[in-house]
């Protein structure tokens, strides 16, 4: 048999209808729903007198609007209405929901994996672009818009044109200090914000195989920032071990059978991709973005680029536009840039290993004067786990704020935001203009780099942190 | 949905690259539970000054962009968040056609689903149209049936479009009713997989 990629395998087993030259009708195994992109979809169903076809394959949570302090007394009446609307819709249509009282509550892309809903070989959609996170398990997972949410609710299917496949191979082993976040920021910095357009990326190579599931999620999470439809990683023993014993994963013989199916989903040796890009781990350093899209990132010791040296007119304009917004000058070093805020959280980097990495830096140090640093766990379960390990105390003693879970300052729809003109070192995935607040300036970094920036008051190389001047 | 067969309208030029959906409709307006009324918030942070008055330097506030229904945009338009509020806002503001050298995938599809025609043209042609669009009341005629774009000065270009989306737009169809016609296929699929 012709060797196949995991992408083709999942595609072929999920096509309900495939007519040549037309989009295929794809069956969806898991549909995750949250409060922001669903109300208009449920409204549409109601208006047309339609039902949810498979409530059993649908799961809802509240995350985007949730306050991270006093989460039960929501003062923003519109946010409150949106959450109540979701709860009512779930009740009306018979959908399970992890509401604010549920121990499973958290960011949609954190709780799917955590509960074991996310599994290899599944097709997964959610009205949120970072659905690609679930690809870390070898699932074909992508974000959809509200019309598509309504379509999936009504039919459990979606029309999709077969995407092209792209292998993103990360060779070699990571340098000390470099993390999964630095891998993906480096790939995007090297190949641009749209190199993945029209493709599903499969991350392969020694560096990827060596990552834990949580690190793999960070990588797949940001596939969308490369313009890709989705990003995934073929399942292996690491995937299987992670899923074993999780709430929604069967045990005993059923598990063994499932695990074998999962192994079979992995890309075959010799499978051919439509495109291949490569990255050498040696090139990867701790990264910081200086601009207003995730490809505008550089190694911590590099200089901010000069638009005059840009290759095309289009690049020159993009660089200038970003520098103006970020109030930075060409030639500056990132280590000269001072910050006023730090955000450790979001579906990119708010899992327990992220918090541990940040806590390791925070331990025994103090947040610099004039810096506000927030730690926002990705889910209530992550929060409880961190507290059982005493990480909350480490953060609090160092002067960080320890919050309840949610999306928080990743997109600042809740009360957490960065004031105009101020700078934030953030572990989230988007440094777009205004993302963290009107006029806010966002720099994307790994959790350890964010914690280091908090204690230094500016960007520093975590590898230099042992130097006494920074202690 | 309202079908698009031939659309003729005034153009607005937005020569900015990588315009993301956070700019198209800033997140403070995503909390509404309705589908309509988003046009007033389109490009809010660019369009209005701190005191709430229109920023005269913003492209859509310029006289030549008045009553525009065809948007001329730059590379990677609509990148970022998958929020469908972006096409809702563009449509509610009055845009029916968006022309750019490249679009972000999710946004591109979201537009079709909401009755907006998105057209990819080579960069050179888009920049030519943008240049022309600097004058007031520069109109374009987009013929979806024949897949052509024309102005009154002799510009003429063809464009590609997925035949599926073309038919949906020409007929003004809603996708769910289309799919529900295939309900037995879905039943059979579920049965075969035992799910
Ligand atoms: S954490 Fe940020 S990127 Fe992730 S789902 Fe929430 S808002 Fe979206």
Rg (CA), chain A: 22
Q: List the one residue out of A318, A326, A320, A328 whose CA is nearest residue A439.
A: A326
Q: Say whether both A11 and A74 belong to one domain.
A: yes
C-alpha A111, offset from chain centre: 12
pLDDT of residue A73: 84
Q: Using one digit for the tens of pLDDT, what is the confidence trace for A22-57?
A: 889 999 999 999 999 999 999 989 988 999 999 999
Q: Say whether both A253 and A325 belong to one domain.
A: no
Q: Can you state the angle between helices B105-113 and B85-93, rounded to 10 degrees?
A: 50
The closest CB to that of B31, out of A17, A79, A412, belongs to: A79
Q: Using one digit for the tens of pLDDT, what is the confidence trace for A433-471?
A: 999 999 999 999 999 999 999 999 999 999 998 754 444
Q: Using one digit for the tens of pLDDT, what is the confidence trace for A53-70?
A: 999 999 999 999 999 998
Q: Using one digit for the tens of pLDDT, what is the confidence trace for A139-170?
A: 999 999 889 999 999 999 999 999 999 999 99
| Euclidean distance between CA atoms A289 and A69, whole angstroms | 29
**Cβ of residue A435 lying under 6 Å from some atom of ligand 1:** no
Mean pLDDT of A3-20: 96
pLDDT of residue A468: 47
Does the pTM surpass 0.90? The reply is no
Q: Say whether both A245 and A210 belong to one domain.
A: yes
Give the number of domains in chain A.
2
Q: Say whether both A161 and A256 belong to one domain.
A: yes
Strand duo A341-344 + A423-426: pairing: parallel
Q: Using one digit for the tens of pLDDT, what is the confidence trace for A411-434?
A: 988 889 999 999 999 999 999 999
Q: Is A424 annotated as a binding residue?
A: no
Task: Name the residue range of residue A47's domain.
Answer: 6-276
Contacts of A309 (CB under 8 A, 6+ apart): none
| Residues of chain B where predicted confidence (pLDDT) is lower than 50 | none
Contacts of A314 in chain B (CB under 8 A): 17, 74-75, 123
pLDDT of residue B136: 84
Q: Say whether both A309 and A237 belong to one domain.
A: no
The domain spans of chain B are 6-193
Contacts of A37 in chain B (CB under 8 A): 82-84
- Residue A123 located in a structural domain: yes
The closest CB to that of A227, out of B26, B35, B105, belongs to: B105
Structure tokens, A141: 């997972």
pLDDT of residue A467: 55
Nearest C-alpha of chain B: how many angstroms from A393? 33
The 3-class SS string of B105-172 reads HHHHHHHHHCCCEEEECCHHHHHHHHHHCCCCCCEEEEECCCCEEECCCCCEEECCCCHHHHHHHHHC
C-alpha B184, offset from chain centre: 34
> Which atom of ligand 1 is nearest to A430's Cα?
3
Q: Is A126 annotated as a binding residue?
A: no
Question: Last residue of a domain, which of A276, A302, A331?
Answer: A276
Contacts of B17 in chain A (CB under 8 A): 314, 317-318, 321
If pLDDT is split at 50, 70 and 90, which confidence band does A72 have?
Answer: confident
Specify the CATH number for the domain of residue A41. Answer: 3.30.499.10
- Residue A465 located in a structural domain: no
Q: Say whether both A32 and A127 belong to one domain.
A: yes
CATH 3.20.19.10 for domain B6-193? yes
**What are the Cα distances from residue A191, in Å, to A168, A208, A223, A296, B76?**
11, 18, 12, 11, 14
Q: Say whether both A263 and A309 belong to one domain.
A: no
Rounded distance from Cα A4 to ligand 1 centre (Å): 32
**Cβ of residue A109 lying under 6 Å from some atom of ligand 1:** yes
Q: Say whether both A267 and A314 belong to one domain.
A: no
Q: Say whether both A245 and A324 belong to one domain.
A: no
Q: Exposed, middle or buried by CB within 10 Å (0-12, 13-18, 19+), for A345?
A: buried
Nearest C-alpha of chain B: how many angstroms from A293? 8
Beta bridge partners of A439: none
Q: Reply yes or no on whether the pLDDT at A218 is more than 50.
A: yes
Q: Say whether both A96 and A237 belong to one domain.
A: yes
- Residue A23 located in a structural domain: yes
For tokens 């047309």, name the residue.
Answer: A48
| Euclidean distance between CA atoms A305 and A291, whole angstroms | 10
Q: Using one digit for the tens of pLDDT, what is the confidence trace for B65-95?
A: 999 999 999 999 999 887 889 999 999 999 9
Q: Using one digit for the tens of pLDDT, what is the confidence trace for A105-144?
A: 999 999 999 999 999 999 999 999 899 999 999 999 999 9
| Euclidean distance between CA atoms A296 and A412, whole angstroms | 22
Length of chain B: 195
If pLDDT is split at 50, 70 and 90, which confidence band does A293 have?
Answer: very high
Q: Is the Cβ of A257 closer than 8 Å to some Cβ of chain B?
A: no
**Cβ of residue A444 lying under 6 Å from some atom of ligand 1:** no
| Euclidean distance between CA atoms A394 and A407, whole angstroms | 22
Q: Say whether both A314 and A226 belong to one domain.
A: no
Which residue, by CA, sits nearest to atom 6 of ligand 1?
A407
Report A:60-79 residues touching B (Cβ under 8 A).
Answer: 65, 76, 78-79
Q: Say whether both A155 and A300 belong to one domain.
A: no
Mean pLDDT of A12-30: 93
Q: Exposed, middle or buried by CB within 10 Å (0-12, 13-18, 19+), for A44?
A: buried
- Residue A464 located in a structural domain: no
- Residue A109 located in a structural domain: yes
């Amino acid at each position: 048999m012709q060797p196949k990629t995991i992408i083709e395998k999942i595609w072929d087993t999920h096509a309900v209808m495939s007519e040549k030259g037309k989009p295929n009708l794809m069956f969806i195994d898991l549909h995750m729903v949250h409060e922001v992109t669903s109300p208009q979809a449920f409204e549409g169903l109601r208006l047309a007198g339609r039902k949810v076809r498979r409530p059993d394959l649908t799961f809802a949570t509240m995350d985007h609007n949730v306050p991270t302090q006093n989460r039960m007394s929501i003062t923003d009446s519109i946010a409150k209405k949106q959450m109540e609307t979701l709860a009512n819709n779930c009740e009306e249509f018979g959908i399970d929901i992890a509401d604010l009282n549920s121990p499973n509550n958290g960011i949609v892309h954190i709780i799917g994996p955590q509960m074991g809903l996310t599994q290899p070989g599944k097709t997964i959609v959610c009205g949120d672009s970072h659905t690609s996170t679930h690809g870390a398990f070898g699932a074909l997972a992508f974000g959809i818009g509200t019309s598509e949410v309504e379509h999936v609710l009504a039919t459990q299917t979606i029309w999709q044109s077969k995407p092209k496949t792209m292998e993103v191979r990360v060779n070699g082993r990571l340098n000390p200090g470099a993390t999964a976040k630095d891998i993906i920021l480096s790939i995007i910095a090297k190949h641009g914000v749209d190199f993945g357009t029209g493709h599903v990326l499969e991350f392969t190579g020694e560096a990827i195989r060596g990552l834990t599931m949580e690190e793999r999620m960070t990588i797949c999470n940001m596939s969308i920032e490369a313009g890709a439809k989705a990003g995934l990683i073929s399942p292996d023993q690491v995937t299987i071990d992670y899923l074993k014993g999780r709430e929604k994963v069967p045990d005993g013989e059923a598990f063994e059978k499932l695990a074998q199916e999962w192994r079979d989903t992995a890309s075959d040796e010799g499978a051919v991709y439509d495109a291949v890009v490569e990255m050498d781990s040696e090139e990867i350093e701790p990264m910081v973005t200086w601009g207003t899209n995730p490809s505008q990132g550089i190694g911590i010791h590099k200089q901010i680029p000069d638009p005059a040296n840009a290759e095309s007119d289009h690049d020159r304009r993009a660089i200038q536009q970003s520098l103006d917004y970020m109030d930075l000058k060409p030639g500056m070093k990132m280590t000269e840039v001072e910050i006023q805020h730090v955000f450790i959280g979001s579906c990119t980097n708010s899992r327990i290993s992220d918090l541990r990495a940040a806590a390791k830096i925070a331990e025994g140090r103090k947040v610099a004067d004039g810096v506000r640093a927030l730690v926002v766990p990705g889910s209530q379960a992550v929060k409880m786990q961190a507290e059982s390990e005493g990480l909350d105390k480490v953060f609090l003693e160092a002067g960080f704020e320890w919050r309840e879970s949610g999306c928080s300052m990743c997109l600042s729809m809740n009360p957490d935001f960065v004031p105009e003109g101020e700078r934030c070192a953030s572990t989230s995935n988007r440094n777009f203009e205004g993302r963290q607040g009107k006029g806010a300036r966002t720099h994307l970094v790994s959790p350890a780099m964010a914690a280091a920036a908090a204690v230094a008051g500016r960007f520093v190389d975590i590898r230099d942190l042992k130097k006494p001047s920074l202690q | 949905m309202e079908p698009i067969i031939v659309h003729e309208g005034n153009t607005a030029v937005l020569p900015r690259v990588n315009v993301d959906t956070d700019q198209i409709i800033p997140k403070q307006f995503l909390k509404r539970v309705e589908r309509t009324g988003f046009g007033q918030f389109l490009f809010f942070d660019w369009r209005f000054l701190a005191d709430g008055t229109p920023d005269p330097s913003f492209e859509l506030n310029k006289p030549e962009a008045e009553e525009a229904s065809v948007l001329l945009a730059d590379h990677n338009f609509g990148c970022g968040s998958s929020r469908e509020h972006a096409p809702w806002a563009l449509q509610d503001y009055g845009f029916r056609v968006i022309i750019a050298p490249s679009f972000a995938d999710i946004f591109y599809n979201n537009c079709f689903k909401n009755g907006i025609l998105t057209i990819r043209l080579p960069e050179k042609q888009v920049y030519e149209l943008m240049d022309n669009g600097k004058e007031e009341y520069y109109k374009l005629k987009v013929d979806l049936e024949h897949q052509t774009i024309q102005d009154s000065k002799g510009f003429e270009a063809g464009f590609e479009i997925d035949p599926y989306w073309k038919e949906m737009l020409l007929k003004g169809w809603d996708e769910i009713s289309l799919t529900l016609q295939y309900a037995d296929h879905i039943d059979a699929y579920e049965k075969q997989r035992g799910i």
